[in-house]
Amino acid sequence: MKILLLIIIFLLIGVFFIISQNNLALSKEGRIKELFSLYIPWLIDGGENIVQLSGQIIKLEWLPK
């Protein structure tokens, strides 16, 4: 339950960050579509970064010599 809450908080912080960086007034028409057009690539890039990081972690030598 805590992990799910942390994921939701992380995603919301991402939305708020994108809104503030792009000065999106969501009360105006069409701004929700613009938000999603910025947010979806951000999520995809984040997922790709996690995959790359996981691949590098797997390649590390974890056992003592």
Number of domains in the chain: 1
- Domain membership of residue 23 (yes or no) is yes
How far apart are the C-alpha atoms of 4 and 8, rounded to whole Å? 6
Domain region containing 15: 2-59
Structure tokens at 42: 């951000």
In a domain, 65, yes or no: no
Q: In this structure, is residue 64 part of a structural domain? A: no
Q: How far apart are CA 16 and CA 26, in angstroms?
A: 11
**pLDDT tens digits, residue range 8-57?**
999 999 999 999 998 888 888 888 899 999 999 999 999 999 999 999 99
DSSP string of 28-64?
STTHHHHHHHHHHHHHHHHHHHHHHHHHHHHHS--S-
pTM of the model: 0.72
pLDDT at 65 over 90: no
